[in-house]
Amino acid sequence: MSAKKDIAGSVVWTAELTEDELDRARRGLTERTFSKGAYICHRGDRLDHWTGVIEGLIKISAISAAGKAMTFAGVTDGGWFGEGSVLKDERRKYDVVAIRETRLAMLSRSSFMWLFENSTGFNRFLVRQLNERMGQFIATIEYDRILDPKARVARNLSWFFNRALYPSAGNEIQISQEELGLLAGVSRQVVNRSLRLLEDEGLLKAEHGRITIVDADALSRYGS
């Protein structure tokens, strides 16, 4: 089996495609690896690929003119991002950074647009993806403005268990307190304290480098 077939086999949205559509997707897929801390793209860059995380963790963020940093989303194994920029053929309006060593699957814009114009299954996936991402970005603004640090940790963690974005997600995630802090915009010490409090409330179980979720719905509403 070729490397491209291997990539396609690991991609959740290929299950929505016909055989002809899947063959077209395979021809447009490539794989790249980024080391921890590496920029996948900077704000203002042109990244002519729709991009998914095969293995790893990335942060989508930006810095305002006033110097305030804001994280829009974290994406881990199985998640895809950047469809809006690809559809509009525009430069990225955010930075994308690998929080740990990360393998990406990258679908060329030409293949993406062909699927967009020809595949009903692909479009069904895109509509679900865009709807969930819009909800995530709106919620992120709420987190940043009105939620306390513990609630921000809870909400950021809950996104990794969103079944529309991560259909194959189980009930646990491999993530360090440092990584979760980078996503939530708080220190590792705040994450540690927040996780202990959330564990006392029976919402999760925190171990070294791993968090098991007991009640994902409660985490997604935490602080409301």
Report domain extents, the chain.
Answer: 3-143, 148-220
Fold of 3-143: Jelly Rolls (2.60.120)
Quote the distance between the C-alpha of residue 70 and its chain's center: 15
Is the pLDDT at 3 greater than 60, yes or no?
A: no
Among 3-12, 89-98, 130-139, 199-208, the minimum mean pLDDT is found in: 3-12
Verdict on whether the full-model pTM lies above 0.85: no
The answer to which of 148-157, 160-169, 185-194 has the lowest mean pLDDT is: 160-169
Alpha-carbon span 80 to 95, nearest angstrom: 15
Query: What gap in Å lies between CA 131 and CA 148, rounded to an integer?
Result: 26
Are 141 and 177 a contacting pair, CB within 8 Å? no
Q: Cα(96)–Cα(117) distance, rounded to whole angstroms?
A: 27
Q: Where are the alpha helices (DSSP H) in the chain?
A: 3-9, 19-28, 83-88, 109-118, 120-146, 149-158, 177-184, 188-200, 216-220
Domain 148-220 belongs in CATH node 1.10.10.10: yes
DSSP track, 141-159: HHHHHH--HHHHHHHHHHG
Q: How many CB atoms lie within 10 A of CB 168?
A: 8
